[in-house]
Structure 1
Amino acid sequence: MIDLLVIQPTPFCNINCSYCYLSDRSNPDRITLSVLDSIIQQVLNSNLCGDTITIVWHAGEPLVIPVDYFALLLERANQAFHNKKISVTHSIQTNGVLITQDWCDLIIKYNINIGISIDGPMNLHDVNRKTRSGKGTFNSVMAGIKLLRANNIRYHGIAVISKHSLLFAKELFDFFYENNFYQLGLNIEEIEGHNVKSSMEDTSYEAIYSFYKELFDLYVNSGMKKMRIREFDNYLQAILRNPEILDINVLDIQSHQIRPFAITSVNYKGDVSTFSPELIGQNSSEYNNFIFGNFSTDTFDVLRKNRLLKKMTAEIKSGIKKCKKECEFYSICGGGAPANKFYENETFNSTETLYCKYNIQIPASIVLKYLEEKIQ
């Protein structure tokens, strides 16, 4: 089944973050209505769509699309799915710079889930998230957030954690908490796509552990209700998912990033990819840039027969088997993210990455220690 349908309305982005993984972000092209129609029709014709579907508009800055045109896209999608009695949830991940009252009206009308990409207070955010002329974007993002709040629109945040962030755990927590984010997600700066280096490569395990531990203590002391922190919640839920089973290793777990088409990613031209959404639009001569067909001509049945997709699926499965055999965190992770394995280890048939160590193992270890202390 399709868990997420990721649609790229445009590859263009109006800002120039230093760690961005997208290589085509100066391309101003945008999705056409006919391409959108083809995407929706192929999804509806498949046997992969349940009673609900989530569409994430991502892989570029969605808000560079004119608001009236975006409304047409939403109407087109809603009508097609509703005609088949399928409920649609729309989500947008935005840098927040282009939020206007017109966008707020659209968000309210279509009940869109909004995520803001912001790295914390100005001294953290403006280090990496800059305009194309090199200026910080913090003030513009905060103006957009002010508009969301004025319109009573809820929003979550995603912060990229770089080496610079590690000394400011309290400042980061206080910023998101005081600015009414209902959830915070933490993405360690990754080696991925266009971003071939990470400031975390030469950072000590102890420094990253201390950052997460301080953040977790602040989270616990806050009551863990007003603002959730995605990483800690995910591992709490994974560890406690079946409390009647004493040995968590006997429980099955599988990330939707390792099942073909659980995440179906489609670019503005209708080209189709799957597994990690970060793979769409990346360069790979071995895997045809991770494009396995085009929804203007190809059905899911055709995509499933693609030779490169079969090869990639086999490599991912082999890597998962190694993870299960070698990694003590497999039972709460399910095998990691294929994109990180490919870009760090140069093969999907591999195991540990920076993402594993710093986005999974450390926060999971902190959560486990907390639970052990609670039991005692």
Structure 2
Amino acid sequence: MKLIVVQPTSFCNINCSYCYVPNRSDKTRMSKDTLENLFSGLFGSAFLEENESVEFLWHSGEPLVVGLPFYREVFELIEKYNKNKNIVVHSFQTNGLLLNEDWCNFFRTKKVNVGFSIDGPEFLHDINRVGWNGKGTHREVMEKYCLLRSNGISSGALCVLTREHLRYPKEILNFFVENRFPSVGFNVEEIENANTNSSLGIRVDLIHSDVITEFREFVSEFYDLWLPYSGIIDVREFQDFFNVSHKKILDPLYRRTPDEVQDFGIVTVQKDGSLSTYSPEFAGAKSDKYSDFVIGNVHRDTFSDISSSKQFLTIKNDMDKHKENCENSCQYFDLCGGSYASNVFFETSDLTRPESTACRLLRKTLYDVLLEKLASTQGNIESGFSIKSSH
């Protein structure tokens, strides 16, 4: 499946303190011409194979601010240009505040996936996820989540972990269980694009040992608390670890290749039609060396053209070096594959480096904890299992 991240606007109706998206007060939106060029170019190119499915992830600022008529037009244009009848999946990542019955009817009728951005209980959520007036958004967000549920629409949660969150694993788990979220994924507060500060540290070589210890303790306690509820709520990071480690056990030569470091594993389309690849967080970044990570534009380039553009080849060269450096320096490379390259760039301005704060926490520290948990219950985890057995 191809993953196309579409950013119809950078504008957001709230002002989260850790948001990486630049120009969140800019209400400029993607035009119909840009949409038309996107869909005609995509569905009419060899980039999308005849029987291949494609997921459009509507993201960036707040995707709902462009309004329902915009998305009705999206579906009409896809119907017009999808001549080969490729399977199309739509996903929205939203703060939820603009939801109403019309949106719910649309989501239900069109069978779209909905991800809900919420940082746990009110006393944590309202620290960072605030309106432009500085007031917390939790109560209204929960009202909108209940509206989704009353309309029979299931939505997983996306929660950003700040240093303050690490003190409350029990409260965070209880919140997501009690409110019947089917799943939760954790991001860490990152130095990325427009966000230049983080409570977890400003770069991996400066991260304080106390942060590593606190994150380790959080993961360990959260895992123990979660186990009795593992059939009720999925934790993305735990499931991810179980999936890749199981593949490694079955095949010692297995190596993960995450979408974000694959050539065109993810293609991001900005509101002006600019195209980028690898991590969506590169969209809107400033870099002379990488031409602001723009490798083409739907108004002048075909999807076939961008794979040979000078801008893409420059980024690809350093992305390949990043993966090589990760492989040569990290025991977890087979299970990770060089994830979080965008975090490396924003922390160090050097895409080729092998480690970032996100990788140190969400890969190395988290995997250490889970391997210890499994070892304590299964002896040697699985006979012959070695995370670096293919090297």
Give the structure-1-normalised TM-score: 0.95
How do 1:188-337 residues align onto structure 2 when only pairs under 5 Å count?
188-201=188-201, 202=208, 203-222=210-229, 224-245=230-251, 248=252, 250-337=253-340
- Residue in structure 2 matched with residue 26 of structure 1 by the alignment: 25
Structure 1 residues 244 and 22: alpha-carbon distance in aligned structure 2, compared to 1, 3 A threshold: closer
Residue of structure 2 equivalent to 1:169? 169
TM-fit CA distance, 1:225: 1.9
Q: Identify the residue that residue 62 of structure 1 maps to in structure 2.
A: 63
- SS of alignment partner, residue 4 of structure 1: strand
Does residue 10 in structure 1 map to residue 9 in structure 2? yes
Q: Structure 2 vs 1, CA of residues 46 and 101 (structure 1 numbering), >3 Å: closer, same or farther?
A: same
Distance 1:148 1:103 in 2: 9
CA shift at 1:365, angstroms? 1.6
CA contact (8 A) 2:44 2:81 kept: no
Equivalent-residue separation in structure 2 for 1:79 and 1:52 (angstroms): 16
Report deviation, 1:79: 4.3
| Structure 1 CA distance for aligned equivalents of residues 272 and 167 of structure 2 | 42
1:159-208 Cα offsets, whole Å, 9 max, x none, are 00001101111110111111111110000100100111110114521111
| TM-score between the two structures when normalised by the length of structure 2 | 0.92
Contact kept, 8 Å, 2:97 with 2:144, in 1: the verdict is yes
2:221 partner letter: E
The residue number in structure 2 matching 1:346 is: 349
The amino acid across from 1:200 in the alignment is: L
Bigger shift: 320-329 or 37-46?
Answer: 37-46
Distance 1:217 1:40, change over 3 A: same
Residue of structure 2 in register with 1:42 after alignment: 41
AA aligned to 1:8 is Q
Separation of aligned partners in 2, 1:235 and 1:244: 14
1:55–1:90 contact (8 Å) kept in structure 2: yes
Where do 5+ consecutive residues of structure 1 fail to align? none
Matching of residues 4-153 of structure 1 within 5 Å: 4-50=3-49, 51-81=52-82, 83-153=83-153
Letter in 1 for 2:25: S
1:181 corresponds to 2:169? no
Structure 1 CA distance for aligned equivalents of residues 14 and 342 of structure 2: 23
In the alignment of these two chains, the number of paired residues is 370
Give the C-alpha shift of residue 308 in structure 1: 2.1
8 Å contact from structure 1 (residues 264, 272) kept in 2: yes
Structure 2 gaps, min length 5: 202-207, 380-391
Q: Is the deviation greater in 204-213 or in 68-77?
A: 68-77
Structure 2 distance, partners of 1:162, 1:213, is 17
1: distance between equivalents of 2:183 and 2:80?
30
Aligned residue identity for 1:111: K
**For residues 372 and 343 of structure 1, what CA distance do their matches in structure 2 show?**
35
CA contact (8 A) 1:90 1:113 kept: yes
Q: Which residue identity is paired with 2:225?
A: L
Choose 19-28 or 2-11, whichever is displaced more. Answer: 2-11
Correspondence for 2:383: none
**Counterpart position of 2:371:** 368
* 1: CA distance, partners of 2:119 / 2:66: 24
